[in-house]
Amino acid sequence: MKRTCLILLLVLNIAFMTKASREDILINENWTFRFSYQVQPNSGQRVDLPHTWNAMDALSGKQDYYRGMGNYEKQLFARPEWKDKRIYLRFEGANTVTDLFVNGAHVGEHRGGYGAFVFEITRFLKYGENNNLLVKVSNALTLDVIPLVGDFNMYGGIYRDLHLIVTDPISISLTDYASPGVYLTQKKITKELAEIQAKVVLSSAIESSQPVEIRVKVSDNQKVIQEQSIRKDISRGDNQSVEIPFTLKNPHLWNGRKDPFLYKVEVSLLSGGKEVDRIVQPLGLRFYHVDENKGFFLNGEPLKLRGVCRHQDRAERGNALWKEHHEEDAAIMAEMGVNAVRLSHYPQASYFYELMDRYGIVVWSEIPLVGPGGYADQGYVNQASFRSNGKEQLKELIRQHFNHPSICFWGLFNELKTVGDNPVEYIKELNALAHEEDPSRLTTSASFLEDENPINRISDLIAWNKYYGWYGGSPELLGQWADKVHAAYPEFRIAISEYGAGASIYHQQDSVKQGQASGWWHPENWQTYYHRENWKVISERPYIWGSFIWVMFDFGAAHRTEGDRPGVNDKGLVTADRKVKKDAYYFYKANWNNEDKFIYISGRRHRERPQGKTDIMVFSNLLSLDLYVNGIFIERQFPDAYATFQWKNVDLSKGKNEIEIRSSISKIKLQDKVVWWCR
């Protein structure tokens, strides 16, 4: 009997503790969607989130894809036991301007398409009843919300998860720019000692002052290694801060792809001796700097940042991605050997930052202050509301993602022009704001303007978008340009923020000739040549602290009329559906990933070849390879300095030819085969 009572008491205590802590409920399912112009009764359709209404029209190359307002509606039952709680809706992302109504009453508005935002709906709900949620989202161009322009689609909709969060009246704040309410500042990190300051932001809806206890517990995934607590009286109101410093001796450092070790920090809030809220955050301890001559250093060791750019965009889905899509993208990047990523040109899903933490991939994260590049219009308007919105979005970016160790750089702009409304003074304000919000990280920018332009001298670091060999010129000009800038401005810490060339897997040719960037012929073998030559230039210059291929995956850009179909930017190393990795992908994998042994025959999709002799090029991270044609051994080859094997003037017979490349090391059983036909 005593045993039964003890078990019952334990179960009741666990149930109480679960009930006392916050609840986080996804409410993605069963929404009714209609465009705002559809005013007829029953004109809506059932959708689930994430959702965008532009998955079809924008991705088909329709340049005037719908940019207007859509309505999302749902019935939400407010449980009676929530009456003494606080209720919030947390939007992970909705593009671009969002207004929330509960039971017909306007709750609030958020202006910006790429950050999370939170509304408290406690006083708007009827408890024990169904409540009507109406979310009106507009992706129409608005001159005081960034971005104004961009070489990508501005998909509309609630395209990320939507959470219903239930907390006690006293909680860790949800409304500090939709941050987790916990900031882990790395004050000083060495291999011997880590000094960290935890700032916890609290919120109370109780009229009188209340005593609370805040506990910070650090674990190394096996045991608790540090625990601190502090008591404080909290009054009614939001965003009341408590700071708790702690140190770790001989810390296990987050060391990029080599060792992306993460501590777990658990912050608990107790009131009346009972836990009323709890937040868990990652802690990856690292220190880094960028030298103008030697590049990027992580934890005191040089690390050449071999990066890619990534859009949150996918065939058939637009930007309405599921977790599985983010996981697939991260895995494809890791397989290629990527150790850095520029999340262009806006904050991306929180889950993707988590994946970068776990993979050990260094992140450049930026706000969507985007210029037109080679297109019309401007990316900056000198008006107070525009300037305010950019600053709000920068605060959202930094506060929401502050604790991700993968993030080393805050990006301020991409390809802004300095004619007309000149953004230089505004960029200075953004740079100062970024350092005020986060003194521990570096700022950077992606420019395409001449070297001496003042806009290139504002952020801590500077990078350029350079396309020698695609938009004019030849690849070797990249090295000439970089050397000239480094000599003229030795204080600049230089990176290449974009470089790339278009490629269709359906465009194959006998010779290596450049396609027309704005035309309908984008041969795959030119993209391969382009990247081989550009990477040689970059890899040989240690002062280039990082390079970021444009782009990892093909993505939607409705205004583009080029390649094998309209509406797609095909500079990706992987197709938009993630089904085909282009030849250039394997060139980088051979150079960047020495662990995953492989053989890849380049030009494999060029199946129809002229009769006679042909060249064969192979990418591999092995030390020697053997060529067989129609089962007959031809020759053994060794790689050049860039993991490339070449056989020149190989005889092919008329008709079918089976090309096989085998590892010449008997212990490594690897091979690759293609079939080519001679005309």
How far is Cα 213 from Cα 229, in angstroms, rounded to an integer? 7
Residue whose C-alpha is closest to residue 497's, from 539, 455, 545? 545
pLDDT tens column, 413-428: 999 999 999 999 999 9
pLDDT at 221 over 60: yes
Confirm if 646 and 617 have CB atoms less than 8 A apart: yes
Mean pLDDT taken over the chain:
95
pLDDT computed for residue 612 by the predictor: 85
How far is Cα 593 from Cα 595, in angstroms, rounded to an integer? 6
pLDDT grade for 345, boundaries at 50, 70 and 90: very high
Name the CA radius of gyration of the chain, rounded: 27
Confirm if 407 and 186 have CB atoms less than 8 A apart: no
Confirm if 101 and 136 have CB atoms less than 8 A apart: yes
Q: What value does the mean pLDDT take over residues 489-501?
A: 97
CB-CB neighbours of 99 under 10 Å: 17
pLDDT computed for residue 1 by the predictor: 40
Listed in sequence order, the residues at least 6 apart from 363 whose beta carbon sits closer than 8 Å to its beta carbon are 340, 341, 342, 343, 353, 356, 404, 406, 407, 408, 409
Q: What value does the mean pLDDT take over residues 596-624?
A: 96
pLDDT grade for 238, boundaries at 50, 70 and 90: confident
pLDDT tens column, 504-522: 999 999 999 999 999 999 9
Confirm if 168 and 276 have CB atoms less than 8 A apart: yes
SS3 state at 120? strand
SS3 state at 674? strand
How far is Cα 73 from Cα 135, in angstroms, rounded to an integer? 6
Pick the range with the lowest mean pLDDT from 90-99, 101-110, 483-492, 608-617.
608-617
pLDDT computed for residue 279 by the predictor: 97
Q: What value does the mean pLDDT take over residues 483-503?
A: 97
pLDDT computed for residue 290 by the predictor: 98
Would you call 178 exposed, middle or buried from its count of C-beta atoms within 10 A (0-12, 13-18, 19+)?
buried
Q: What value does the mean pLDDT take over residues 382-409?
A: 98
Confirm if 524 and 504 have CB atoms less than 8 A apart: yes
pLDDT computed for residue 6 by the predictor: 37
Side-chain-side CA neighbours of 576 within 13 Å: the count stands at: 26
Residue whose C-alpha is closest to residue 184's, from 113, 254, 232? 254
How far is Cα 232 from Cα 269, in angstroms, rounded to an integer? 11
Listed in sequence order, the residues at least 6 apart from 25 whose beta carbon sits closer than 8 Å to its beta carbon are 163, 164, 165, 166
pLDDT grade for 21, boundaries at 50, 70 and 90: confident
Share of the chain above pLDDT 70, in %: 97
SS3 state at 444? strand
pLDDT tens column, 349-361: 999 999 999 999 9
pLDDT tens column, 565-592: 999 999 999 999 999 999 999 999 999 9
**Ramachandran sector of residue 415 (left: φ over 0; alpha: ψ -120 to 50; beta: rest):** left
pLDDT at 188 over 60: yes
pLDDT at 499 over 50: yes
Q: What value does the mean pLDDT take over residues 148-169?
A: 97
Share of the chain above pLDDT 90, in %: 94
Q: What value does the mean pLDDT take over residues 15-27?
A: 69
pLDDT grade for 13, boundaries at 50, 70 and 90: very low
pLDDT tens column, 39-81: 999 999 999 999 999 999 999 999 999 999 999 999 999 999 9
Residue with the two structure tokens 């239930």? 166
Q: What value does the mean pLDDT take over residues 193-202?
A: 98
pLDDT computed for residue 293 by the predictor: 98
How far is Cα 37 from Cα 348, in angstroms, rounded to an integer? 30
pLDDT computed for residue 611 by the predictor: 80
pTM exceeds 0.75, yes or no? yes
pLDDT computed for residue 11 by the predictor: 37
The set of catalytic residues is 415
pLDDT computed for residue 546 by the predictor: 98
CA torsion 379-384-386-389 (nearest 10°) is 140
How far is Cα 96 from Cα 114, in angstroms, rounded to an integer? 8
pLDDT grade for 15, boundaries at 50, 70 and 90: very low
pLDDT computed for residue 373 by the predictor: 81
pLDDT at 2 over 70: no
